[in-house]
Amino acid sequence: MEKILRNYCSYIVLAVACLCIGGIIGYNLQNLHDDGGGNVSTRQQVESAAAANQEHQASAGRITSSADRVEVGIEQAQDGISQSADRAASSEQLIGECQQILAGIRTRGSSHPPSH
């Protein structure tokens, strides 16, 4: 589960980054051709695209951070499950030992009836 989630989050981050970069490049190339080479308009568009890229990078960073927190939570849950399984095994062993002791007491009790 952890591996699946880690791979899934990695693919999301990679996809977001590719979409951002591809969108910025495509947007800038289209506007450079449509623009007729006007420097002021092109500069504003590039600055706008750069700002959008920074926002997308920040968003990708938040996704990565969230994925990391989820991964840590999964690891902690797995540790808790392992500890609970260990405790359950210890409890079962203790119950078995107690049952053996009780069986021994019953056996001794039935072979030595009380003398009144």
Residue-range domain boundaries for the chain: 2-109
Per-residue tokens: 22: 């591809």
Q: How far is CA 73 from CA 5, 10, 24, 65, 84, in A?
A: 12, 17, 35, 12, 16
The C-alpha atoms of residue 103 and residue 108 are separated, in whole angstroms, by 9
pLDDT at 48 over 80: yes
- The pLDDT tens digits of the residues spanning 86-111 come to 999 999 999 999 999 999 988 887 77
Task: Sort residue 89 into left (φ over 0), alpha (ψ -120 to 50) or beta.
Answer: alpha
Q: What pLDDT was estimated at residue 53?
A: 85
Its pTM surpasses 0.85: no
pLDDT greater than 80 at residue 82: yes
The pLDDT value given to residue 39: 57
> Which pair of tokens denotes residue 95?
């119950």
Residue 36: phi and psi, rounded to 5, are 80, 15
Q: Look up residue 80 and give its two tokens.
A: 């808790």
Q: What pLDDT is stored for residue 70 in this prediction?
A: 87
Cβ–Cβ under 8 Å, residues 2 and 10:
no
Give me the mean pLDDT over the 56-74 stretch: 85
